[in-house]
């Protein structure tokens, strides 16, 4: 899984019919302190994550192992909202 | 999923028989403003996307979760045409 | 799918039994003009592609969705030989 | 598989129901000497690995081939704790 | 598939039970001349490859399409030992 920050939303009128009603959020990978790294990507949100939240995303076929994403053409899903991260005993991120 | 811009088309006479009639478009990944980043790749179009459109593409086995791509040797599909993108409250892309 | 140029061949005596008789070609990814980018990789050829041809390769489990590759330990297959590529209305590659 | 060092832990209250009770650790890829390279990622621990341990992680659908991870939206699992690594006859890493 | 050189071995006492007796080798990707590029990774050996051999590795779910790796949490397998590589008519690598 990747550690990522939710940075935005997407709106699409024309899409695969099976995606109707699915929320597609824009994320960017972060390091263990929540600092943004890398390019934006899009994942399905099943947990009502908010803009600014740090989350974990699962990719590939693993992204389809939820009721909301199964058998759908999506390759990334938010599967956890992070409360805090600890690295070598130091709290590196804490949800506000 | 990746945010990508449709930049071109491919024509192939010799191909896997199961791909007959499938439209294969050339894309390049973009950031949240539609600025091109990265190398070109090719995805199956199931939504009649046009050149210049910003779209979302699903990759790997997830690219085969549509009626048009299932059981075929394709690893990327356009699953949404983007109307607009919003990042931290700012509209960063709007379809013309 | 990736746009790639066929650059060479591999010969292996010791291999997985299910690969007996499969042709494994060396490729390098190209951009939309056929210019080489990136490192070499190897894909199964099911279309009798020739050295110098520009082709499309499908990767991962999608590389196994042909009669010649199914249930075999291969993760890339040539699924189309490119005749020409067009980007924003300009022909960027034409097979000789 | 990647060689990686366990560097930390994650805590999430809001998560996919099927992940309840799964331990999600933070790792960073290393080279054959255990030197950190690359960005942090998160994997499910099924082996009670400790902070500082060098481990092997399997990714994608392969990350779901354990009793603890099957049918769950996770794309990386720790499948071995490394005792030692040997490269060209030299021991490059030894667990303390 | 990637062209890679076998550079070492791993030893693990604590591991997924289904990996008991599987040989896990350390590899590094090479170019078509056998020159090392990229970071080390680990693959299951099913062909009795030796240190220094140039091999082909299949990744992801394709790495599980052998009797020795099926249904196991491994994402890379050695599926061929390379005898020689030829690029644009020139022999670029020959096994000693």
Residue A96: per-residue pLDDT: 87
Answer whether B26 sits within 8 Å of C84, measured CB to CB: no
Q: In this predicted model, what pLDDT tens digit does every residue of E43-86 receive, in sequence order?
A: 999 999 999 999 999 999 999 999 999 999 999 999 999 999 99
Answer positive or negative: Cα dihedral of C9, C12, C18, C20.
positive
Rounded-to-integer distance, Cα C1 and Cα A38, Å: 22
* C60 in contact with B, Cβ within 8 Å: yes
Q: In this predicted model, what pLDDT tens digit does every residue of A12-57 receive, in sequence order?
A: 999 999 999 999 999 999 999 999 998 999 999 999 999 999 999 9
Residue C82: per-residue pLDDT: 98
* E75 in contact with D, Cβ within 8 Å: yes
Residue E34: per-residue pLDDT: 97
Q: Are C79 and B18 in contact (CB under 8 A)?
A: no
- Domains annotated on chain B, with CATH: 2-94 (2.40.50.220)
Answer whether B88 sits within 8 Å of A8, measured CB to CB: yes
**Complex ipTM tops 0.85:** yes
For D73, how many CA atoms within 13 A lie in the half-sphere containing its CB?
31
Interface residue of C58, C69, C93 to substitute, partner B, most B CBs within 10 Å: C58
* A81 in contact with B, Cβ within 8 Å: no
* B87 in contact with A, Cβ within 8 Å: yes
pLDDT confidence bin for B55, thresholds 50/70/90: very high
| C-alpha pair distances (Å), A83 with each of A2, A92, D9, D12 | 15, 11, 11, 5
Answer whether A24 sits within 8 Å of B56, measured CB to CB: yes
Give D89: exposed, middle or buried? Use CB within 10 Å, 0-12, 13-18, 19+: exposed
Q: In this predicted model, what pLDDT tens digit does every residue of D30-77 receive, in sequence order?
A: 999 999 998 999 999 999 999 999 999 999 999 999 999 999 999 999
Set of chain E residues whose Cβ sits within 8 Å of the Cβ of D87: 7-8, 26, 40
What's chain A's average pLDDT? Answer: 96
* E34 in contact with C, Cβ within 8 Å: no
| C-alpha pair distances (Å), B88 with each of A25, A36, A52, D1 | 11, 14, 8, 36
Answer positive or negative: Cα dihedral of A71, A77, A81, A85.
positive
End-to-end CA distance of chain B: 22
Q: In this predicted model, what pLDDT tens digit does every residue of B19-53 receive, in sequence order?
A: 999 999 999 999 999 999 989 999 999 999 999 99
Of C12, C63, C71, the CB nearest to E80: C12
């Amino acid at each position: 899984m990747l550690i990522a920050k939710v940075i935005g939303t997407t709106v699409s009128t024309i899409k695969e019919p099976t995606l109707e009603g699915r929320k597609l959020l824009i994320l960017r990978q972060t390091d263990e302190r929540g600092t943004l790294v890398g390019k934006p990507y899009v994942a399905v949100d099943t947990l009502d994550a908010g803009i600014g939240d740090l989350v974990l995303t699962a990719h590939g076929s693993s992204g389809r192992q939820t009721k909301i994403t199964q058998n759908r053409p999506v390759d990334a899903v938010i599967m956890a909202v992070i409360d805090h991260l600890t690295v070598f005993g130091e709290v590196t991120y804490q949800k506000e």
